[in-house]
Structure 1
Amino acid sequence: MGERPVARVLVDSPLPQLDQLLDYRVPDRLAGDAVAGARVRVPLRTGGRIAAGWLVELAERSEYAGELSELDDVVSDVPVLTPDVWRLARAAADRAAGNASDVLRLAIPPRYVRAERAWRAAEPDPGPLPTAPGPVEGYEPGRVERGIDAGERMALAADARPVRLSSGTWVGGWARTVAQAAAHALAQDRSTVVAVPDYRDQEQLEAALADLVDPRRVLRTDARQTGPARYRAFLDATGDAARVVIGNRSTVYAPAARLGLVVVVDDGDALQSEPLAPGVHSRDAALVRQEQSGAALVLLAHSRSVDVQRLVGLGWVHDVPLRRGARPKVVLTEQQAAPESGGARIPSAAWREAQAAVVEGPVLVQVARPGHTPMLVCDRCREPARCAACGGALAVPRAGGTPACTLCGTRASGWRCPVCEGTSLRAAVVGATRTAEELGRAFPRARVVVSDGERPIVRVGHEPQLIVATRGAEPLADGGYRAVLLLDGERMLLRESLRVAEDCLRWWSNAAALAAPGAPVFLVGVGGAIGTALATWRQPAWAAEELEARRALRFPPAVRMASLVSSRERLGGALERLRGMDGVDVLGPTPVDDGLERAVVRFGYAAGAEVAQRLKGEAIRAATERRRPVAGRRPGRPPVLRVRMDDPDLP
């Protein structure tokens, strides 16, 4: 066995018992192709199956005393799994009590043979490095550059204004900041990895980078690309040239030569949270990668998340504020000297400003929900209107007309309230479509445009127009909006979630940052501490207060939480393994679907590694045990244990 090298392989499998390196003998026919990082196929003795995997490393000998099986095949000798990505995937999976193969499935795109052949045949030409990158503007001169050079962890307040590039393209100020930071790292022949929430942010960042960096040095990886294009960009990133790799949340795992900077933009956005197992947030993966690589880390947002504020409070991440004079002009309608009478959706002051502003350029109106009338209630008792056939919510279709069920589509032509016998309906929530119709009648000479999840608009021109957009779907306007109206604030705050106030402040801050310098931003119907934080542009101070409130209640991110779902018996065994650990307490269990139960475990960050290890062990036990045979029935497996660390769906 010492004559032939031993391949240590991670099998691509969701089974927790296979989340380890398995040893295989390298046959002579594969000796030249079996390199570390290659895709391979290996036999599994259980069932005689052939499984895919990654060859993590080669060793001279194996600690296994028995006879080793041979590698079945080397799919490709291209080393797609680099050592630093493997270390990151292993650490991220261990922190989340998950499988490293699940992380690598997100990090490494599927193979496309034609794209791989074209990449092999191409002559690498990444273009020149920037020779004299400009300063990172908006902060203390040289502050961000020094942090990048020192491998510092920094929380940056984003520049809250649109800026015009030398090419004439308008982008958010945050995009120029990231581009300038990436250019500084690239000038030192070091790579940058940037994770942004969605493709609209990617397009702004790509435009900002084009002003400072040779386009051949920029690699874009995201789900909107074709499979071959994404795989080709990934292969380019595995090379020796320093690059700027931009993409969505999984980009934090991208290979990068001599990594010098990792950037996560707007980490509080739900799109930065990975829904697939093991559910590692891009911010957490970036923190692990920074610690392993020594690269600098930048967490940039208009509204700081409570998670980042915790790290700032600990001194683990350093606060880098903007210089004064770069904040929007926010007006709280709740603090007007003469409050509005009645229930006007748009106060008179905001209405007058919108009338004057729409003559000069675009005006943004942010609403809570898409559709026409997405929620109806009884006009008499305010009971939510439900479908008589299936119990689903009633709403007015996009095209208008008779209310219909949002689930089964049944029209409610003869609806009657089951509580008060009323027959009239009224809108509890007005959607983007109906808002656009009402504004179109009020502003007959202005063009009205709707942007929502179904019909997103990336950018609009500087022409006079009214843009009605749902939260998160606001397009960028050339030169900025001449006025911004933030409607339905009270309704947004009614959503049942621990992070509802944090999310609302982030939505409003991102929308306010689209306003032109000096343009008014009206927050309608919301006051108090959250309204004051937006008006004074002191989101970090609000986040600090919110963190203290959560610390008193032992809510995330003051502590970590894990959700466990299984049968009552299996759940009891898992919770028993955590008994006696300091600072660990259990909420529940409570019943869920199909006879399963869920328990929530709270624990401190110091106990996180041990909690994850114990829960992973219990998941392996659950996956490998079998039920005792019952007469007349086939032996089956007990319900598996589903573990989700830092579950974002917990209320």
Structure 2
Amino acid sequence: VWNALPGPLWSEELARAVAATLASGRGALVVLPDGRAVARVDAALTELLGEGRHAVLTADAGPEKRYAQWLAVRRGSVRAVIGTRAAMFAPVQDLGLVALWDDGDGSHSEQHAPQPHAREVLLLRAAQDKCGFLLGGWSCTVEAAQLVETGWAGPLVAGRDRVRAAAPLVRTVGDGDLARDEAARAARLPSLAWQAVREGLRRGPVLVQVPRRGYVPRMACAGCRTPARCRHCSGPMEAPGADDLRCGWCGQREESGWHCPECGGFRLRAQVVGARRTAEELGRAFPAVPVRTSGREHVLDTVPAAPALVVSTPGAEPVAEGGYAAALLLDGWAMLGRPDLRAGEDALRRWIGAAALVRPQAEGGTVVVVAEPTLRPVQALVRWDPVGHAVRELGERAELGFPPVSRMAAVSGPGEAVAGFLRTAELPGEAEVLGPVPLPATPAGRPRRPGGPPPGDLWERALIRVPPGRGAALTAALKSAQAARTARAGDEPVWVRIDPPDIG
């Protein structure tokens, strides 16, 4: 389990691992989260090995080219493969190394049945083919920490001196800032952030990470941050303009006199401001500086070293030539406040992914994270200690009986269907059923109703967990129950997922 140093050299390190494997006479397989990461490793391998020594398997290549590459791998004329999630099944001959970069990225998890995860598939291939396994990333997931904790894998971590030399300076809004600016903790862009932007723009580009894309902000109570809801349909209230408040579902405009049902407050604030709106606001604040955006509609790969503001959603951050001079990580409370078991781990992974693109502290690189400084993920970012954070998370999950220490299954569907499924399933004696409870969000694979709220409010979900070593018995029981239910005509379907990544 490799905890990579900050910076852009990770692709070259992976290329060297592939080259060493080929030199030993065996094949290599590298799975990456997206096409941009594949392109970087592709360029590094081409420079190191030359043309034609490796195959690239991505959807962007098109079916004809992808099939030709697959045939070359199948025949053994090419012994090294890099690609996105589907490449985990590539038929590499005499496999000597399987590698995975950033296993916490959601794109490594297939949403269609049987919903394999690239990490689990490569672990099985490493065990069956008796080959090397390399799991790399700037951050560290709980699953990666478990591999080290159990002794299945060894850690590959640089010393603290090298980490500090490669990492940027990470600053938070703390007591010193509050003494000078009492509104610093409540402001979306406190004075510390403005100062970091101004100083960074003197030396190069500045990265601004925003948790969501889009323009129209959804509103919440300024006091307790309870989401503002429509009186007519309970939809989310949005503010397209400065004096306009309307429902995002039914379009009904809210008249004056709104008040929070929780605390009785009358003031509203933007719950999460999207990347486009943030770019517009920063453009007005720094009119002489170009502003670039990178997100779902248009993802930038690189940006020049000239001063500029780069507003990006998590995972779409472009690489700056020579590194960013500074970075702002905005709306940290929105990422940490998600009702998800992995909220802290995922927030830290996204923050470190952006901060790793910033110049080292010795070159003036600074990162400002706008979040509560006492929270564990924020402190792990300040210390640049994702491994320690993952180890502590693993210990807490072991005490609570959550994955990956225990095995867990989620059964989702209409309330009666879930109850009937649980009655007929012959679960192991050690199985513990949690719920069922109402499911507020739409389950994966369940379509949303056009023009209205999601149907998840009519659904329920039950969680079933078993101790380590009983996962096979649990899956066998659920498979039998699902097969029997499918064979009966007229039964409503239920969705079953083993070790769901979004327990919340």
TM range (shorter): 0.7 to 0.9
2:3 to 157, 171, 177: 157
Which residue of structure 2 aligns with residue 406 of structure 1? 248
1:644 to 477, 488, 497: 497
Distance in 1 (CA, whole Å) between partners of 2:232 and 2:29 is 51
Matched, 1:303 2:139: yes
Write out aligned runs for 1:547-562 (5 A).
547-562=394-409
Are 1:367 and 1:471, in contact at CA under 8 Å, matched by a contact in 2?
A: yes
Question: Which 10-residue stretch deviates more, 497-506 or 412-421?
Answer: 412-421
Which residue of structure 2 aligns with residue 146 of structure 1? none
TM-score between both structures, scaled by the size of structure 1: 0.68
Tell me the SS of whatever aligns to 1:535.
helix
Instruction: Give, as a single letter, the amino acid of the residue that structure 1 aligns with 2:162.
Output: G
- Cα–Cα, structure 1 residues 437 and 304, in superposed 2: closer, same or farther, change >3 Å? same
Distance in 2 (CA, whole Å) between partners of 1:189 and 1:295 is 12
Are 2:409 and 2:463, in contact at CA under 8 Å, matched by a contact in 1?
A: yes
Instruction: Give, as a single letter, the amino acid of the residue that structure 1 aligns with 2:74.
Output: T
Matched, 1:469 2:312: yes
Residues 124-162 of structure 1: CA distance to partner in whole angstroms, max 9, x if unpaired?
xxxxxxxxxxxxxxxxxxxxxxxxxxxxxxx0011311x
Instruction: Give, as a single letter, the amino acid of the residue that structure 1 aligns with 2:498.
Output: M
Matched, 1:329 2:154: no
Residues 476-523 of structure 1: CA distance to partner in whole angstroms, max 9, x if unpaired?
111110111112112211111000000011011111100122211122
Q: CA deviation at 1:241?
A: 2.5
Which residue of structure 2 aligns with residue 573 of structure 1? 424
Larger RCO (CA under 8 A, 6+ residues apart): 2
1:506 to 349, 356, 359: 349
Matched, 1:621 2:472: no
Matched, 1:179 2:15: yes
Write out aligned runs for 1:461-540 (5 A).
461-518=304-361, 519-528=365-374, 529-540=376-387
Instruction: Give, as a single letter, the amino acid of the residue that structure 1 aligns with 2:27.
Output: S
Are 1:402 and 1:411, in contact at CA under 8 Å, matched by a contact in 2?
A: no
Which residue of structure 1 aligns with residue 448 of structure 2? none
Q: CA deviation at 1:539?
A: 1.1
Tell me the SS of whatever aligns to 1:238.
helix
- Cα–Cα, structure 1 residues 423 and 252, in superposed 2: closer, same or farther, change >3 Å? same
Instruction: Give, as a single letter, the amino acid of the residue that structure 2 aligns with 1:618.
Output: A
Q: CA deviation at 1:419?
A: 5.6
- Cα–Cα, structure 1 residues 480 and 595, in superposed 2: closer, same or farther, change >3 Å? closer
Write out aligned runs for 1:26-41 (5 A).
none
Instruction: Give, as a single letter, the amino acid of the residue that structure 1 aligns with 2:248.
Output: T
Question: Which 10-residue stretch deviates more, 219-228 or 324-333?
Answer: 324-333
Distance in 1 (CA, whole Å) between partners of 2:193 and 2:115 is 42
Instruction: Give, as a single letter, the amino acid of the residue that structure 2 aligns with 1:604.
Output: P
Tell me the SS of whatever aligns to 2:322.
coil
1:600 to 463, 479, 503: 463
Tell me the SS of whatever aligns to 1:211.
helix
Gaps of 5+ in 2: 440-455
- Cα–Cα, structure 1 residues 591 and 278, in superposed 2: closer, same or farther, change >3 Å? same
Which residue of structure 2 aligns with residue 43 of structure 1? none
Are 2:34 and 2:107, in contact at CA under 8 Å, matched by a contact in 1?
A: yes
Task: Give aligned pairs, total.
Answer: 471
1:384 to 201, 224, 227: 227
Which residue of structure 1 aligns with residue 449 of structure 2? none
Residues 439-484 of structure 1: CA distance to partner in whole angstroms, max 9, x if unpaired?
2122121111122222322211111101111222211111110111
Matched, 1:543 2:384: no
Are 1:589 and 1:597, in contact at CA under 8 Å, matched by a contact in 2?
A: yes
* Structure ID, larger Rg: 1
Instruction: Give, as a single letter, the amino acid of the residue that structure 2 aligns with 1:341.
Output: E
Residues 152-185 of structure 1: CA distance to partner in whole angstroms, max 9, x if unpaired?
xxx0011311xxxxxxxxxx22111111111111
Tell me the SS of whatever aligns to 1:605.
coil
Are 2:328 and 2:368, in contact at CA under 8 Å, matched by a contact in 1?
A: yes
Distance in 2 (CA, whole Å) between partners of 1:549 and 1:361 is 41
TM-score between both structures, scaled by the size of structure 2: 0.86
Are 2:169 and 2:360, in contact at CA under 8 Å, matched by a contact in 1?
A: no
Distance in 2 (CA, whole Å) between partners of 1:235 and 1:534 is 44
Which residue of structure 1 aligns with residue 79 of structure 2? 243
Write out aligned runs for 1:326-475 (5 A).
326=163, 327-335=166-174, 337-339=176-178, 340-342=181-183, 343-377=186-220, 384-387=227-230, 390-397=233-240, 402-407=244-249, 410=251, 412=253, 414=255, 417=258, 425-475=268-318
Q: CA deviation at 1:403?
A: 4.7
Distance in 2 (CA, whole Å) between partners of 1:641 and 1:442 is 51
Are 1:622 and 1:641, in contact at CA under 8 Å, matched by a contact in 2?
A: no
Gaps of 5+ in 1: 1-154, 162-171, 627-635
Which residue of structure 1 aligns with residue 442 of structure 2? none
Q: CA deviation at 1:256?
A: 0.6
Tell me the SS of whatever aligns to 2:358.
coil
Identity across matched positions, percent = 38
Q: CA deviation at 1:424?
A: 7.2
Instruction: Give, as a single letter, the amino acid of the residue that structure 2 aligns with 1:440.
Output: G
Distance in 1 (CA, whole Å) between partners of 2:242 and 2:59 is 34
Distance in 1 (CA, whole Å) between partners of 2:224 and 2:351 is 32
2:61 to 225, 236, 260: 225
Are 2:218 and 2:272, in contact at CA under 8 Å, matched by a contact in 1?
A: yes
Distance in 2 (CA, whole Å) between partners of 1:396 and 1:642 is 36
Which residue of structure 2 aligns with residue 610 of structure 1? 473
Distance in 2 (CA, whole Å) between partners of 1:335 and 1:532 is 12
Are 1:416 and 1:422, in contact at CA under 8 Å, matched by a contact in 2?
A: no
Q: CA deviation at 1:531?
A: 2.0
